[in-house]
Structure 1
């Protein structure tokens, strides 16, 4: 889900980005006319990025 990891300070912080298009399928029903990124997808992105802060971060590649 995350498109790019921009910065990592292992065990401290990480910065990443997700490119989002207005045509993403989940926007069709969440909410019509006023699209909002579903919270569960925000949480998933945070978990993916958080993995880069663990000891195993060297093994992860996008």
Structure 2
């Protein structure tokens, strides 16, 4: 898998988590720990996207 296709896949997963997070936050019965987990996973993806995006400019 090329770096570009990997970045695209990570961005897709980030968008999916964003959608799930927005949906979860609309439901008051949603567990706050589950919401925190979604936020943590989304941030991890964002960090990896940023790291890999910066890595491609180094080469």
Return the TM-score normalized by structure 1: 0.38
Structure holding more strand per residue: 1
Higher relative contact order (CA 8 A, sep 6+): 2
